[in-house]
Amino acid sequence: MLKPSPFAPAQFPELPVIAGVRTATASRGFYAARGLDRDDVFLFEFAPGTTTAGVFTMSTTASADVAWCREALLAGQGQARALVVNSGNSNAFTGPKGKEKNDATLAAIVASLGAPKTQCFLGATGVIGEPLPDPNYVGSIVPQLQSQLAAPDWLACAKAFMTTDTYPKGASHSASIGNTTAQFAGIAKGSGMIAPNMATMLAYVFTDIAATPAILDVALRQACNASFNAITVDSDTSTSDSLMVFATGQNASPEISAQDDPRFAELVQALTQVCLDLALQIVKDGEGATKFITIDVTGAESDASARMIAADIANSPLVKTALAANDANWGRVVMATGKSGQPVALDRLSIWFGDVAVAQGGARAQDYDEDAATAVVSQPDIHIRVDVGVGAGRATLYTCDLTHAYVDINGAYRT
């Protein structure tokens, strides 16, 4: 059993019922060999007319489930009736057997729910490269899940797709969109193999608004860039990363179909709030993490340049291990800034740990106080700001420290 993250919330948040969504969870036995009796698969059923959009890993070794979701989004024109996700096996790099598993699972969903195949979506997370013993390993439990469908048990679903997570992750938001109140609920899993290269985990957001698939796609990508694409734990991008949104249209508001609709901006804001909440929970549950770190880069040539600099700082093992040890080694931040290869005005480069200036004008700050800087990095929540003195570009990334526990967790992952 993994030690709970020091950032684990006291309890799972209360998420709203989303009209048009039913769920069920069950145990298929993915973790039985480890002596664990836990749910490891869930089914979501959506009301007819539900629309969807998704963004997925940029990995060139993406899983069979990711490949299917991309195909189904196009073939089904963004309509959704079901989602089945399992933990314990990622169905990635499994050759033809990966597709056979998907075909069997989809056939079971179609038979159980009477839903069109192209409106059924899949997700999987866990060990890479291990084919299942039977193509119908997941599909065989779908009829049981269908018989248990009920109002969403968000906590059960959030637990079912955990792997090395130490706590289940959920977020909600109630937003005024136009003249109606819209409800949003989301669950996510992720702890390691996390890097901002869309997407960086499995995350699903549900809402009762009505929106076209095209509008959902634009809104979701904007929300993702400010949340899941702004986090990193260990610089590794998973083969299975998926972020999807499902809009049931059950709140009776007119459909959002254009970006110039004033409600579009409200939709983006609401989606971003839920996605950012979930994304930060993932960072705070980073494998072995004891520190939550916010990195702000300003004064860059462009926002893209600022993001590259921030990413090199956030992913630097030397920066992360120093912070884990309460070491105010700001020289490592200088190093990571420079290795990005992005334009930097060396004589204007300045760095702050919290409110403490550690470097200014391209050198150590004249009034540098080692004790004050150490006090900042000894806190569980650390803010690092870097201004590179070139332009107006800026970016914010979120990360965690790197402790020996990360090695312990990943060294024992398959044992």
Residue 209 pLDDT class (50, 70, 90 cuts):
very high
- Collapsed DSSP state (helix, strand, coil) of residue 227: coil
Mean pLDDT confidence for 375-383? 98
Is residue 4 included in any domain, yes or no?
no
Out of 164, 200, 207, 399, which one is annotated catalytic? 200
Whether 299 has a pLDDT exceeding 80, the answer reads yes
CATH number at 327 reads 3.10.20.340
Residue 413 pLDDT class (50, 70, 90 cuts):
low
Q: What angle do CA 344, 374, 303 make, to 5 degrees?
A: 25
Q: Give the end of a domain, one of 284, 300, 321.
A: 284
> Can you give the residue range of the structural domain that contains 315?
292-411
Over the stretch 7-65, which tens digit does the pLDDT of each residue have? 999 999 999 999 999 999 999 988 877 778 899 999 999 999 999 999 999 889 999 99
End-to-end CA distance of the chain: 12
Q: Give the end of a domain, one of 217, 250, 284.
A: 284
What integer pLDDT is reported at residue 288 of this predicted model?
81
Is residue 358 included in any domain, yes or no?
yes
Sheet harboring 356-360: ordered strands across? 363-364, 356-360, 350-353, 381-387, 292-300, 393-400
Domain count within the chain: 2
Mean pLDDT confidence for 237-259? 93
Over the stretch 316-364, which tens digit does the pLDDT of each residue have? 999 999 999 999 999 999 999 999 999 999 999 999 999 999 999 999 9
User: Which helix (DSSP H) or strand (DSSP E) does residue 199 occupy?
Assistant: none
Kindly state whether residues 298 and 269 are assigned to the same domain.
no
Q: How far is CA 389 from CA 300, 348, 350, 384, in A?
A: 7, 5, 8, 16
Q: What are phi and psi of 296, to 5 degrees?
A: -110, 125
Kindly state whether residues 273 and 302 are assigned to the same domain.
no
Kindly state whether residues 116 and 183 are assigned to the same domain.
yes
CATH number at 75 reads 3.60.70.12
Closest CA to 268 of 310, 205, 337: 205
298 is catalytic: no
* Distance from C-alpha of 236 to C-alpha of 59, rounded to nearest angstrom: 10
Higher per-residue confidence, 285 vs 409: 285
Q: Give the end of a domain, one of 284, 304, 322.
A: 284
Kindly state whether residues 322 and 255 are assigned to the same domain.
no
What integer pLDDT is reported at residue 409 of this predicted model?
72
What integer pLDDT is reported at residue 411 of this predicted model?
75
Kindly state whether residues 229 and 322 are assigned to the same domain.
no
What integer pLDDT is reported at residue 414 of this predicted model?
58
Q: Where does 56-141 have alpha helices with state H?
A: 64-75, 96-113
In the chain, what percentage of residues exceed pLDDT 70?
A: 97
Kindly state whether residues 99 and 142 are assigned to the same domain.
yes
* Residue 402: CB atoms within 10 Å: 26
What is the token pair recorded at 183? 């409800």
Is residue 2 included in any domain, yes or no?
no
